[in-house]
């Protein structure tokens, strides 16, 4: 009776109102215990909906491999450098998915910077010639993802852009 | 005497926030599926 | 003005039409929503309520009808059957599409419509739980909120303010569905409240403005658990809910420790004294930018720690319980005049007792929140005086102030309580003091000093034993242990002034003697 480890004063004389409420609550809790939310109840597979449904042979994978949502997968692409095109593909063709989020994260790690006005990623080719609080100017590599409909302008490659001014208020 | 709180499936020494992968109060597994992420509007 | 049958018919047909829309075809969405709007179903009036109530009823009924075993049969947790959430998910998508495409101006109307839909959902759950009682199935509603949360709480990714309003609407909905109101929804409720798309967001957006809402939801949960946690033995369902609560508190301790720090008084009011480890989790929290010195560092000079002079931030309303019980004026009066022989001190014990009817329900004869509030409030006044009197002194509690300090009115109150209260009352009083032993701040320092002073000055062995028990029972439970608790206990057993090792009660039983020997070894 000097502390709580030992017998307690509670439980013995709860008034009828209290006992009823507690007893009722306990019964409802026991009933709920048999209907717990299951892990799958809160899994909402982000349904990946292909832009253009195309029938492919059933032997082809019909759903995306879970690997595609693992950050480690995209980090590896980033590190070894050869995966940059893949990062750009995920960024421009898997929009509003976790992949796009992860690809953008990797591109930033490689000092690519997204220009909000041109929707294009730029990377410094050399130290900028001019740099103020508002902008920087110099020669940049940019990823040209545009492919003109008549295929005249072959985009989907990295190009050099000299004398480019990157205004910081367009930097995402 | 309470319980050993390191056995509840939470990495209490993690440098990362636990809530991003907190599955549920009942499970000692991290959450499945995409963790919370927000894509800036200008990426669309 | 449609009568019920027609309206039900019409709503079902509209829902079927929505179900037939290809889920990927976002183009058809706006037209469909526009049609609902033109039918006058989205004005936010009584018709709107009926429309969403019907859709909720239809989608929940579809879900329950798909369940394998009849849900009224008692099942073991492992036996929970699969059920189809197809209708629930489609209804969830309809709601998020309505809020996305509804042709109303941004901001208030959209938010108004969301509040209406949540209100309809809450009332529906409350009514269903009341009617079905033990056969109520929470899982369809759990799934519905799992649909709502990520979609609706990021409705306007750009407009953070709107986001915050939406999160508050969910907080209010969960408050209305709290376990004391809908006990059959308790497990689903805790999973939703702690969900990574809700709790962390409300704790981070808008610079802590969401904190009071999460605090209120945690108090809702702890108030429900409190009667069942007073006894150490818990049934499996309570134990399961308790363990889930501990997990959520650990996430808060790890990611949002300042939140637990700032509301510690509120949480200590609702955590029963027997939940020592759960309370230790709250009291062990400390600001992330603080580095705590190892309490067992030899010759650690607490007085010289820079943080020891700073008051902790407290968001709980410290004097609320004093005001509610009309005690604040008398306390202030006594602290100011320290009128000798005043009735205040002699009546104090009586005023801390509960009415017999309340005592039965509360499981104790004392008003614990009132004791907690009195102890902390009185201490804070004393600290202010001490710092006002000696602004440059290194700390609030160094022994140099003992003679002057011992004249303090606050100490009269503490001495009266420690001598007048019976064993149970004294235990609750000492608990209220020990609840302030946290991370380095001037409350920790002052109350550590108070506890040691009471040990030294009260010449009754039973009081010294009880002070030791209050400290010890917080230390022998599994971690975490609050920093202030450790430094106080180490001071008690190391400083010869307290003559600790000559007290007979440390040898009152063989296992106690062994316990203290191991304590002595571990504290070096």
What is the share, in percent, of chain A residues with pLDDT greater than 70? 79
CB C135 within 8 A of CB C84: no
Please tell me the distance from the alpha carbon of residue C228 to that of residue C43, in angstroms, as a whole number. Answer: 45
Name the band, by pLDDT with cuts 50, 70 and 90, for residue C102.
confident
Does the beta-carbon distance from A69 to B34 stay under 8 Å?
Answer: yes
Average pLDDT (C383-392) is: 79
Nearest to A46 among B23, B34, B43 (CB): B34
If one compares A109 and A83, the residue with the highest pLDDT of the two is A109
* pLDDT tens digits, A127-164: 999 999 999 999 999 999 877 667 666 788 899 999 99
> For residue C10, what are its two tokens?
């019409």
If one compares C188 and A63, the residue with the highest pLDDT of the two is C188
Q: Which of A53-67, A82-96, A129-143, C300-314 has the lowest mean pLDDT?
A: A53-67
SS (HEC) of C29-82: HHHHHHHHHHCCCCCCCHHHHHHHHHHHHHHHHHHHHCCCCCCCCCCCHHHCCC
Average pLDDT (C496-517) is: 92
Name the band, by pLDDT with cuts 50, 70 and 90, for residue C500.
very high
What is the pLDDT at residue C317? 95
Q: Chain B residues with CB inside 8 Å of C200's CB?
A: 17, 19-20, 36
Does the beta-carbon distance from B33 to A45 stay under 8 Å?
Answer: yes
What is the pLDDT at residue C434? 98
Name the band, by pLDDT with cuts 50, 70 and 90, for residue A16.
very low
If one compares C361 and C370, the residue with the highest pLDDT of the two is C370
Return the biggest CA–CA distance within chain B.
Answer: 53
What is the pLDDT at residue A15? 36
- Answer whether residue C218 shows pLDDT above 90: yes
Nearest-neighbour CA in chain C from B18: distance (Å):
6
Task: Kindly identify which residue of chain C lies nearest to residue B42, measuring between CA atoms.
Answer: C158
Please tell me the distance from the alpha carbon of residue C180 to that of residue C175, in angstroms, as a whole number. Answer: 10
Judge whether C147 is closer than 8 Å to chain A, CB to CB. Answer: yes
What is the pLDDT at residue A7? 31
What is the pLDDT at residue C403? 45
Chains contacting B (3 or more CB pairs within 8 Å): A, C
Judge whether B27 is closer than 8 Å to chain A, CB to CB. Answer: yes
Nearest to C199 among B14, B19, B40 (CB): B19
SS3 C157: coil
Pairing of strands A120-124, A113-115: antiparallel
Judge whether B13 is closer than 8 Å to chain A, CB to CB. Answer: no
> For residue C36, what are its two tokens?
């609902």
> Which of C113, C108, C210, C199 lies closest to C159 in space, CA to CA?
C108
Q: What share of chain B is helix, strand, coil (3-state, %, to 5)?
A: 20, 5, 75
Extended strands (E) in C294-340: none
Nearest-neighbour CA in chain A from B33: distance (Å):
7
Q: Is the bond preceding residue C3 a cis peptide, omega within 30 degrees?
A: no
**Whether the model pTM is above 0.90:** no
Judge whether A43 is closer than 8 Å to chain B, CB to CB. Answer: yes
CB C287 within 8 A of CB C257: yes
- Answer whether residue C22 shows pLDDT above 80: no
SS3 C299: coil
What is the pLDDT at residue C154? 65
- Cβ neighbourhood burial of C396 (10 Å; 0-12, 13-18, 19+): buried
* Cβ neighbours for C273, distance < 8 A, ≥ 6 positions apart: A4, C279, C368, C427, C428, C431
Task: Kindly identify which residue of chain C lies nearest to residue A31, measuring between CA atoms.
Answer: C134
Q: State the residue for tokens 């929009």.
A: A95
What is the pLDDT at residue A146? 79
Pairing of strands A130-131, A113-115: unpaired
Tell whether ipTM is more than 0.90.
Answer: no
Q: Which of B24-38, C200-214, C215-229, C462-476 has the lowest mean pLDDT?
A: B24-38
What is the pLDDT at residue C392? 64
* pLDDT tens digits, C123-174: 999 999 999 999 999 999 999 999 999 877 666 554 556 688 889 999 999 9
- Answer whether residue A14 shows pLDDT above 90: no
SS (HEC) of C473-503: HHHCCCCCCCHHHHHHHHHHHHCHHHCHHHC
What is the pLDDT at residue A9? 34
What is the pLDDT at residue C207? 82
Does the beta-carbon distance from C247 to B21 stay under 8 Å?
Answer: no
Q: State the residue for tokens 């013995």.
A: A12
* pLDDT tens digits, C27-66: 788 889 999 989 989 988 899 999 999 999 999 999 999 8
Using left for φ > 0, alpha for ψ between -120 and 50, and beta otherwise, residue C51 falls in alpha
Q: Chain C residues with CB inside 8 Å of A4's CB?
A: 273-274, 276, 427, 473
Average pLDDT (B28-37) is: 73
Average pLDDT (C113-125) is: 95
What is the share, in percent, of chain C residues with pLDDT greater than 90? 70
Name the band, by pLDDT with cuts 50, 70 and 90, for residue C507.
very high
If one compares C498 and C3, the residue with the highest pLDDT of the two is C498
Name the average pLDDT for chain C.
Answer: 89
What is the pLDDT at residue C451? 96
Please tell me the distance from the alpha carbon of residue C80 to that of residue B28, in angstroms, as a whole number. Answer: 19
- Answer whether residue C345 shows pLDDT above 50: yes
Nearest to B17 among C187, C244, C255 (CB): C255
Nearest to A32 among C24, C180, C184 (CB): C184
If one compares C470 and C458, the residue with the highest pLDDT of the two is C470
Chains contacting A (3 or more CB pairs within 8 Å): B, C
* pLDDT tens digits, C231-261: 777 899 999 999 999 999 999 999 999 999 9
Nearest-neighbour CA in chain B from C477: distance (Å):
4
* Cβ neighbours for C367, distance < 8 A, ≥ 6 positions apart: C321, C325, C352, C353, C354
SS3 C256: coil
How many residues belong to chain B? 44
Please tell me the distance from the alpha carbon of residue A148 to that of residue A80, in angstroms, as a whole number. Answer: 30
Q: Chain A residues with CB inside 8 Å of C237's CB?
A: 26, 29-30, 32-33
Judge whether B32 is closer than 8 Å to chain A, CB to CB. Answer: yes
Task: Kindly identify which residue of chain C lies nearest to residue A49, measuring between CA atoms.
Answer: C24
Name the band, by pLDDT with cuts 50, 70 and 90, for residue C213.
very high
Name the band, by pLDDT with cuts 50, 70 and 90, for residue C108.
low
- Answer whether residue C353 shows pLDDT above 70: yes
C-alpha dihedral sign at C458, C459, C463, C469: positive
A-to-C residue pairs, Cβ atoms closer than 8 angstroms: 139
Name the band, by pLDDT with cuts 50, 70 and 90, for residue C82.
confident
Q: Which of A73-77, A152-156, C346-350 has the lowest mean pLDDT?
A: A152-156
> Which of C304, C265, C305 lies closest to C285 in space, CA to CA?
C265
Using left for φ > 0, alpha for ψ between -120 and 50, and beta otherwise, residue A117 falls in alpha
> Which of C408, C502, C398 lies closest to C452 in space, CA to CA?
C398
CB C270 within 8 A of CB C221: no
| Portion 250-289 of C in contact with B at CB < 8 A | 250-251, 254-255, 276-278, 280-281
CB A87 within 8 A of CB A74: yes
Nearest-neighbour CA in chain A from C245: distance (Å):
15
Residue ranges of alpha helices (H) inside chain A are: 16-33, 71-80, 84-93, 98-109
Judge whether B4 is closer than 8 Å to chain C, CB to CB. Answer: yes
Query: Which of C277-293 are b and which e, b meaning 16 or more Cβ less than 10 Å from the residue's Cβ?
Result: bbbbbbbbbbeeeeebe
- Answer whether residue B39 shows pLDDT above 50: yes
Average pLDDT (A111-131) is: 95
- The count of other CB atoms within 10 Å of the CB of residue C429 is 25
- Cβ neighbourhood burial of C388 (10 Å; 0-12, 13-18, 19+): exposed
Task: Kindly identify which residue of chain A lies nearest to residue B30, measuring between CA atoms.
Answer: A39
Average pLDDT (A85-99) is: 88
> Which of C100, C101, C112 lies closest to C43 in space, CA to CA?
C112
Q: What are phi and psi of C223, to 5 degrees?
A: -65, -35
- The count of other CB atoms within 10 Å of the CB of residue B4 is 9
C-alpha dihedral sign at C55, C57, C60, C62: negative
- Answer whether residue A6 shows pLDDT above 50: no
Average pLDDT (C312-316) is: 96
Pick among A98, A99, A118 to test the B interface (most B CBs inside 10 A): A98
Task: Kindly identify which residue of chain A lies nearest to residue C82, measuring between CA atoms.
Answer: A38
> Which of C69, C485, C508 lies closest to C282 in space, CA to CA?
C485
Average pLDDT (C491-514) is: 93
If one compares C260 and A61, the residue with the highest pLDDT of the two is C260
Pick among B24, B30, B31 to test the C interface (most C CBs inside 10 A): B24
């Amino acid at each position: 009776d000097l502390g709580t480890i030992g017998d307690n004063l509670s439980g013995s004389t709860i008034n009828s109102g209290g006992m009823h409420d507690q007893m009722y609550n306990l019964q409802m809790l026991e009933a709920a215990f048999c209907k717990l939310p299951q892990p799958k109840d809160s899994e909402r597979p982000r349904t990946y909906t292909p832009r253009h449904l195309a029938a492919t042979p059933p032997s082809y994978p019909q759903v995306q491999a879970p690997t595609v949502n693992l950050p480690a997968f995209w980090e590896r692409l980033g590190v070894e450098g050869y995966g940059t095109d893949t990062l750009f593909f995920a960024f421009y063709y898997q929009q509003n998915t976790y992949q796009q989020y992860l690809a953008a994260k990797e591109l930033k790690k490689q000092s690519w910077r997204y220009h909000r006005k041109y929707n294009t990623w730029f990377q410094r080719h050399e130290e900028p010639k001019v740099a103020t609080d508002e902008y920087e100017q110099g020669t940049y590599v940019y990823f040209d993802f545009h492919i003109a409909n008549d295929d005249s302008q072959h985009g989907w490659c990295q190009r050099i852009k000299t004398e480019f001014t990157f205004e910081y208020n367009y930097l995402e | 005497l309470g319980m050993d709180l390191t056995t509840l499936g939470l990495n209490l020494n993690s440098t990362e926030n636990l809530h991003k992968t907190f599955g549920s109060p009942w499970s000692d597994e991290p959450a499945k599926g995409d963790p919370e992420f927000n894509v800036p509007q200008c990426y669309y | 003005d449609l009568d019920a049958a027609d309206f039900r018919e019409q709503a079902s047909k509209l829902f079927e039409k929505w179900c037939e829309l290809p889920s990927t075809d976002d183009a058809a969405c706006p037209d469909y929503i526009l049609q609902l709007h033109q039918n006058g179903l989205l004005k936010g009036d009584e018709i709107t309520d009926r429309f969403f109530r019907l859709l909720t009823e239809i989608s929940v009924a579809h879900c329950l009808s798909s369940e394998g075993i009849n849900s009224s049969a008692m099942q073991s947790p492992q036996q929970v059957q699969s059920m189809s959430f197809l209708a629930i998910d489609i209804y969830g998508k309809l709601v998020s599409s309505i809020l996305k495409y509804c042709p109303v101006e941004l901001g208030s109307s959209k938010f108004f419509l969301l509040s209406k839909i949540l209100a309809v959902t809450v009332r529906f759950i409350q009514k269903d739980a009341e009617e079905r009682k033990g056969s109520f199935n929470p899982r369809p509603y759990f799934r519905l909120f799992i649909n709502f949360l990520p979609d609706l709480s990021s409705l306007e990714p750009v407009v953070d303010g709107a986001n915050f309003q939406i999160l508050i609407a969910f907080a209010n909905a969960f408050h209305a569905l709290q376990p004391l109101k809908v006990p059959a929804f308790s497990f689903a409720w805790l999973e939703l409240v702690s969900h990574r798309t809700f709790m962390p967001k409300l704790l981070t957006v808008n610079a802590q403005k969401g904190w009071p809402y999460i605090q209120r939801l945690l108090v809702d949960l702890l108030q429900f658990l409190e009667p069942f946690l007073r006894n150490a033995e818990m049934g499996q369902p309570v134990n399961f809910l308790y363990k889930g609560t501990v997990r959520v508190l650990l996430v808060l301790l790890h990611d949002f420790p300042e939140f637990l720090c700032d509301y510690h008084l509120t949480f200590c009011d609702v955590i029963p004294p027997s939940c020592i480890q759960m309370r230790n989790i709250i009291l062990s929290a400390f600001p992330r930018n603080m580095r705590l010195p190892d309490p067992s560092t030899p010759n650690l000079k607490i007085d010289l720690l820079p943080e020891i002079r700073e008051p902790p931030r407290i968001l709980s309303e410290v004097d609320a319980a004093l005001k509610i019980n009309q005690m604040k004026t008398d306390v202030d009066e006594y602290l100011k005049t320290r009128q000798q022989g005043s009735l205040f001190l002699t009546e104090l014990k009586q005023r801390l007792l509960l009415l017999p009817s309340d005592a039965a329900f509360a499981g104790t004869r004392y008003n614990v929140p009132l004791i907690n509030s009195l102890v902390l409030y009185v201490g804070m006044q004393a600290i202010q005086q001490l710092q006002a009197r000696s602004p440059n002194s290194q700390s609030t509690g160094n022994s140099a102030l003992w003679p002057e300090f011992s004249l303090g009115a606050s100490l009269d109150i503490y001495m009266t309580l420690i001598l007048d209260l019976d064993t149970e009352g004294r235990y609750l009083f000492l608990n209220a003091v020990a609840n302030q032993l946290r991370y380095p701040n001037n409350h920790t320092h002052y109350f550590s000093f108070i506890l040691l002073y009471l040990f030294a000055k009260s010449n009754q062995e039973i009081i010294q034993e009880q002070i030791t028990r209050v400290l010890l029972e917080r230390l022998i439970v599994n971690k975490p242990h609050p920093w202030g608790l450790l430094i106080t206990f180490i001071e008690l057993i190391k400083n010869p002034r307290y003559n600790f090792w000559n007290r007979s009660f440390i040898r009152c039983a063989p296992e106690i003697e062994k316990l203290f020997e191991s304590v002595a070894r571990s504290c070096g």
